[in-house]
Structure 1
Amino acid sequence: MLAVPQRAFVANQPVDMRRSIDGLALLVEAVLDRSPLSGEMFVFFNKSRDKVKLLWFDRHGFWMAYKRLERGRFKLPVPADAMDWTDLLLILEGIDPLKLSLQDVWHNGEPVHVKVPGTRATHGLPVY
């Protein structure tokens, strides 16, 4: 089963996307000063921020995920050293967590505002 870590550590310097699991694991130790075997997720962007690689270790081995945008760039909050899973998912979907603003959602005639854990904004999401 795929277990996803709750925290992600971001390399602030651009990374050559030709690096494999071993090359990224070396960067985790050298640049982020963390253990690649910790079970935490490590996030690497290329210079133009249109590609991202995610690296993490579970009890059986390494996982690596790669995403390439067809247009646009990933928006990174500053500083982006560490973030929780919610912020990472927003960034991977092209949403800037620092500027997140959604329209109000109404439920039973009342506006609903829900604070999503790990984000810096209040979202109008229905609660049932």
Structure 2
Amino acid sequence: MRKSINGLGGIVQNDLRLNPYEQSLFAFGNRRKDLVKILYWDRNGFCLWQKRLERDRFPWPQDEQAVMEITADQLNWLLNGIDFRRAHSTLHYTKFG
């Protein structure tokens, strides 16, 4: 992944049709799923944060064109290698035992 602030900002605005100046974080992953770049606007300029794993891979969506809205907790889980899309099911019971 060679793109930096200008390239990723262009993807957000032109390809995804989103406003890069929103109070949002835009996360991008490479094909090998060992690199994540996060672009965001911070009051008076863009910031680009990057994390590269030396081992393992990030649990990234299969559809490379997909846009997902996730919570701050889910982003933290993603960056820590936890696949939040495969969480345990919620169980509902009416009786104990």
Runs of 4+ in 1 over 4 A off after TM superposition: 77-80
Question: Cα distance, 1:77 vs. partner?
Answer: 5.0
Determine the C-alpha separation between the residues in 2 that align with 1:58 and 1:77: 27
Of 77, 80, 94, the residue aligned with 1:93 is 80
TM-score by length of 2: 0.79
Unpaired stretches in structure 1, ≥5 consecutive residues = 1-16, 102-119, 122-128
Supply the RMSD in Å over aligned alpha carbons: 2.0
Task: Show the counterpart of 1:37.
Answer: 21
**Preserved CA contact (<8 Å) 1:41 1:55:** yes
Task: Show the counterpart of 1:25.
Answer: 9
Amino acid at match of 1:40: S
Q: Whose RCO is larger (CA < 8 A, sep 6+)?
A: 1
Map 1:14-93 to 2 at 5 A: 17-77=1-61, 81-93=68-80
Determine the C-alpha separation between the residues in 1 that align with 2:74 and 2:61: 9
Determine the C-alpha separation between the residues in 2 that align with 1:33 and 1:84: 20
**Preserved CA contact (<8 Å) 1:77 1:96:** no
Count matched residues. Answer: 87
Unpaired stretches in structure 2, ≥5 consecutive residues = 91-97
Amino acid at match of 1:70: E
TM-score by length of 1: 0.61
Could you say which structure has the higher strand fraction? Answer: 1
Determine the C-alpha separation between the residues in 2 that align with 1:98 and 1:19: 27
Question: Cα distance, 1:39 vs. partner?
Answer: 2.1
Determine the C-alpha separation between the residues in 1 that align with 2:59 and 2:72: 15
